[in-house]
Structure 1
């Protein structure tokens, strides 16, 4: 977000409806949460009194997510927050939380940058082929499990000809061959 960009102004009417001043339409708490997830700063004000209600609505959004089971805040943190309202720690907690979340944002962005810039596997020739091999292997393995003999005899296929175990074995042989070819290519690159 640009430093000069103003927060999205949401006005609360006497009917408690929330009005987006940029798009001239009504919004819900979930819409506001979406704006925030997209990186927008939001300011919610009471139309009549001009009071800033942003904090109240952000806490309401958090409470709704927590009540739906989207638990981000551990019980211990919530307990400590409640305690901080009745102790001398109240003056320290806001700065601590702000710095902690700033450090979290910075480390997340650095981690994403490092993963994108430093992923040696993604740049390796044949990486896509290796991924395809893994998918084929997992498919063959999961297909083989459903073809195991069922109690009472038989494989449960009810058909003549090639059994699923034989087909799975053929798939496994093909995978082994492809892995050998990939190993050969990797050895040539070294």
Structure 2
């Protein structure tokens, strides 16, 4: 049985083929993406040099998904990322992104938990904090000065945003009713 606590070791041969050391077979980038989606960490190393190639391959997976129209990164975010490589914010960006995704994962877990309790009006946890953190990030990247997170002086939500949230809540309630009927 594979030890899922340790990263899955993938070796890249000189032929550029990727070899799964746990299952002793060759894998593709899509296979690696599947391992990651299943919650598995991976480490990709060059067999000959021992260099860690994980970052390079993960970026390649993201680029392939983006090029196939599975766009998850808006143009303005990509522009901000490129811009951050040439500003003083370079040292802040990795910590911000890691914290943002950690908050996102926590929020997803809490949302799934509230959905399992069939509470359609449950407020999505940490949404406001994520929004404040995003605003602070954009402010830090554009000014080159690290900001304090979370930002507490954000403007009050507009009526349109409240109407959108109400519409989403109604759609969520309707979906839950459908799911309840399907379970019976």
Report the equivalent of 1:149.
none
Normalised by the length of structure 2, the TM-score is: 0.64
Number of aligned positions between the proteins: 127
Residue 159 (structure 2) aligns with: none
Larger CA Rg, structure 1 vs 2: 1
Which residue in the other structure is 1:91 paired with? 91
Give the corresponding residue for 1:59. 59
Distance 1:4 1:71 in 2: 29
Higher RCO (C-alpha 8 Å, min separation 6)? 2
Q: Is the Cα–Cα contact under 8 Å of residues 4 and 40 in structure 2 kept in the other structure?
A: no
Shift >6 Å, 4+ stretches: 120-124
* Structure 1 residue runs without a partner (length 5+): 133-190
Corresponding residue of 2:41: 41
Structure 2's unaligned 5+ residue stretches are: 121-172
Distance in 1 of aligned mates of 2:93 and 2:83:
10
CA distance in 1, matches of 2:181, 2:63: 43
Q: Secondary structure at the match of 1:51?
A: coil
Residue by residue, what CA displacement relative to the aligned partner does 1:66-120 show, whole Å, maximum 9, x if unpaired? 0000000010110010011111110000000000000000001100000111347
Where do 1:24-173 residues align within 5 Å?
24-119=24-119, 128=181
1:14-46 deviation per Cα after TM superposition (whole angstroms, max 9, x unaligned): 000000000000000000000000000000000
Please give the per-residue CA displacement for 1:132-172, whole angstroms capped at 9, x wherever unaligned.
9xxxxxxxxxxxxxxxxxxxxxxxxxxxxxxxxxxxxxxxx
Residues 4 and 10 (structure 1 numbering): CA distance in 2 closer, same or farther, change over 3 Å? Answer: closer
Secondary structure of the 1:118 match is coil
> 1: CA distance between counterparts of 2:15 and 2:118?
53
CA RMSD of the aligned region, Å?
2.7
SS at match of 2:23: coil
